[in-house]
Structure 1
Amino acid sequence: MTARSVALILAISLVFAGCAPVSQPPVADPPLAAGFSRIYFYRTTFSIGSESGLFGNVARPSLSLDGKTVAETPAGSVIFCDVLPGRHEVAVRANQRYTLDLAAKPDRTHYVKLDWGMGGLTGQGHVTEVAASVGSQDIEGRPRLAATCPQAGG
């Protein structure tokens, strides 16, 4: 085996190591307090040829809510924050910033899908609110990551 072959195998192994499923302990979903809104943020998992493709899974873009950092978003992650109803800015940033203006409704759960991939030499992202029927199915059985959510009302 040549040195070039060994280097190639090592490089491929490192890329796939970044694609491993999220392995942090899950955070339980407590009941939603009356009058509040819950927002689930989730990243897609490994899928060659899409926005969540091979190199996108290595990235861990930073998620912020209303200008405050909530968490990094590794591929396959699910994070949630409970917020007061009203308008909220969701932003994801690695080398570029992608935003979504979300109108949170009281006593309702919202789902925001975060896609991240490679386009040319830079990361490309999409931040999209999806229907509850889609989002709830997408996150079913996936572990939750702890997040630093902005204080509701503060």
Structure 2
Amino acid sequence: MRRLMLLLALPLVACGAPEPESAPIPASTSFARTPEDCSELAITALEVQPGVANLFGTHAELLPKGQFVRVRIAITNTGNRVHDTRSEDYQLVDTAAAGHRMSIDAMRVKRQLSDLEIGAGNRLELDLWYDLPVGAIPRELRDTVCASTIAFPGR
């Protein structure tokens, strides 16, 4: 019986199914946040969690070079059109005034978005992950595109 099933399935495998035609991939455009994006996106830091010793995700575990810092933010689109932003545009500034870029590895392990599109009147919350040296104390976020700062809660 097994041989009969194989013989019946063989012509189907040999012929193969025709491949569906795929749509052409659009050319990528460079990201550029406009002054209108800056004026209509309200960013609020909701929570700061320094000293995270390791991260666990669905498919990976990650140890920091120093300490992980999680910053939970809310981005509210106060305008009437869709606005774009990127999580990598927000640097963490410590008490020594040093700026730290977001940890791409930590963001991937925690499956956080990098390119964000926020609809009119919508609010989006996400975690930004940073890998700071041991002993560094987070002070605020700096929006590198809009040249503004986002204060942490309680400061």
TM-score, normalization: structure 1? Answer: 0.28
Q: Which entry has the higher C-alpha Rg, 1 or 2?
A: 2
TM-score (norm 2): 0.27
